[in-house]
Chains A and B, each alone.
Chain A
């Protein structure tokens, strides 16, 4: 089910179809609607499981039956025929809507499969009898050129009313995006929050014993599917960051025995050094508009933060303390940078203007505070708090309202979902040193491990896909 081929960006042919009503009318006008074929066996696993909290405030029930089709024909998708694809789409949507603390979704395996004729005219009494609050229905149609068209409809069963709809025509390899976009449509319509499922994660895939870990650059969809390794692991890779346009990844690797920063071009699968310097370079970061790169450079044991144009050009030194200044994360408007420094004697979080002026410590919690990341919404800063154990926490940009989101032996390096409501981080197991990518929502109550093929660390969540 996973695409082993090159990065999706190369072959992305997604087109939005906003003229859905006409399309669906055309479908429904066809006589042979009554597709009542039984649901096929599920072919897609749910990439992420391990719910640790299913408490009763997830009150809104959502039914997601298999999507209908006008004709069950083969497709070039990994899901199989259009009918099988309709089942898989509903399964992926169900998995997306789980674990957010908002919904209680029921997937296609436990539901009847509505015929195509019901896609726009739901059987409200039938769904009411199943105690369904919300209903997601849809259809799949194979296009002549191999593409697939997917329609997505959200209904309020109690009101007997359609709340939202959308449709997309995609390349066969991109079929899961239709499910994520449908889940995004539902999530944002019902929660009032911005969408985030249609996004990707760059991270470090880890294998091998604790003292000789192989660390490879890898990418995957936000739900762990479509996993691709980008480097072989011959050189240790660390701390990746997706560019805002998904065309490149900044990451750290060792070159001639020194840590350096590479830019990996996802279209050409080639990489180059960000800049040639004799000194060790760490902690690459993009500005929100992709025009600048932050990095940290050590000189005689003293590390400072610099910025330079991502297209190349002269670096500007932003910090000049005798301690270690490292990392950094821009505020969404690009005007400020939050970073960490041990100038006070221990790692703490500071904020400065984007030109380096006005540096001010904001973390005063006891212990150490590290790896700050500014929320894409601007309202919070996620970071690692170290007091014995390492825990993921959030605070406001002034350093108030500390809240822990995790409580484990070693959780570090939070990264924000594009909508600023969900965080991923990595957890290291005591003694074995095994790592895993985990996800938690802002309540801290919905925590789960992503099902990566091997151990994972340093997740970096990209923005919503263009």
Chain B
């Protein structure tokens, strides 16, 4: 029942909002981290259902949402990603998550800590609006201290302005 209402909201949200256009990477390659999850499993077996590895595999890149420079709004691509996350969380109601907020390197250190926090909160708030219990979600900001892409170029910066959802057991 909860799942149904959540899905309804997801659909409504997806239709209602046509997000602001310019977005970081439209299609992202799957997180390379996912590959390490099934190295010791037998042939044909995926990650354990409900595990972090399962989450990463199921999300196919949608464990992360991306932001424009200095922005923290949730646009349509973010909404789809967060809806997918909410769907997974609805299937595993015992799971809790941490949303990690990050920034690109082209800002000052302290402000970026606060901005990363704001981005993590924006993602959290949207998940809550989709019916995920706020008590299941914590946020943390790493500012510009933990980049995912290592270049000093627009492409790398776009990949680093992000909020990453990580499941917690």
The residues of A with any CB-CB pair to B shorter than 8 Å are 209-213, 215, 236, 238-239, 252, 257-259, 280, 282-283, 296, 298, 300-303, 324, 326-327, 340, 342, 346-347, 368, 370-371, 384, 386, 390, 410, 412-413, 428, 430-431, 433, 457-458
Contact B98 A259 (CB under 8 A): no
Contact B111 A211 (CB under 8 A): no
24 contacts between A and B (CB under 8 A): A209-B150, A210-B150, A211-B146, A211-B148, A236-B145, A238-B109, A238-B113, A238-B145, A257-B98, A282-B110, A282-B113, A300-B125, A301-B122, A303-B114, A326-B110, A342-B70, A370-B107, A390-B106, A410-B106, A428-B105, A430-B152, A431-B150, A433-B105, A433-B147
Residue on A with the closest CB to B153?
Answer: A431
| Set A212, A280, A370: member contacting B108, Cβ < 8 A | A370
Alpha-carbon distance A350/B121, docked complex (angstroms): 25
User: Chain A at the B interface: mostly helix, strand, loop or mixed?
Assistant: strand
Q: Does residue B117 face the partner (Cβ distance < 8 Å to A)?
A: yes
Given contacts A257-B98, A298-B117, A433-B150, contact A324 B122 (CB under 8 A): no
Chain A hits for B148, CB < 8 A: 211
Shortest C-beta distance, A369 to chain B (Å), equals: 10
Contact B152 A296 (CB under 8 A): no
Given contacts A257-B98, A298-B114, A340-B111, contact A280 B150 (CB under 8 A): no
Shortest C-beta distance, A457 to chain B (Å), equals: 8
Alpha-carbon distance A457/B108, docked complex (angstroms): 12
Mask of B120-164 contacts with A, CB within 8 angstroms, 1/0:
111001000000000000101100011110111000000000000
What would 16 more interface pairs be, CB under 8 Å, given A211-B146, A371-B108? A257-B138, A259-B140, A280-B141, A282-B110, A282-B114, A296-B110, A301-B125, A303-B114, A326-B111, A370-B107, A386-B106, A390-B106, A413-B108, A413-B109, A430-B152, A457-B109
Sorted nearest first, the 5 A-B pairs with minimum C-beta distance are A301-B121, A301-B118, A303-B114, A370-B108, A430-B152
Chain B hits for A326, CB < 8 A: 110-111, 114
Residue on B with the closest CB to A426?
Answer: B109
Chain B hits for A327, CB < 8 A: 110-111
Q: How many A-B residue pairs have CB under 8 A?
A: 99
Query: Residues of B within 8 Å of A, CB-based: how many?
Result: 30
Given contacts A210-B150, A211-B147, A236-B145, contact A303 B108 (CB under 8 A): no
Shortest C-beta distance, B106 to chain A (Å), equals: 7
Chain A hits for B118, CB < 8 A: 298, 301-303, 324
| Set B70, B113, B117, B125: member contacting A346, Cβ < 8 A | B70
User: Chain B at the A interface: mostly helix, strand, loop or mixed?
Assistant: mixed
Alpha-carbon distance A238/B112, docked complex (angstroms): 12
Contact A301 B72 (CB under 8 A): yes
Alpha-carbon distance A368/B112, docked complex (angstroms): 13
Chain A hits for B111, CB < 8 A: 324, 326-327, 340, 342, 347, 370-371
Chain A hits for B106, CB < 8 A: 386, 390, 410
Contact B152 A303 (CB under 8 A): no
Alpha-carbon distance A33/B70, docked complex (angstroms): 69
Chain B hits for A342, CB < 8 A: 70, 111
Chain B hits for A413, CB < 8 A: 108-109
Alpha-carbon distance A342/B138, docked complex (angstroms): 24
Alpha-carbon distance A301/B111, docked complex (angstroms): 12
Shortest C-beta distance, A271 to chain B (Å), equals: 20
Most central of B105, B106, B114, B140 by chain A CB within 10 Å:
B114
Alpha-carbon distance A466/B117, docked complex (angstroms): 39
Chain B hits for A371, CB < 8 A: 108, 110-111
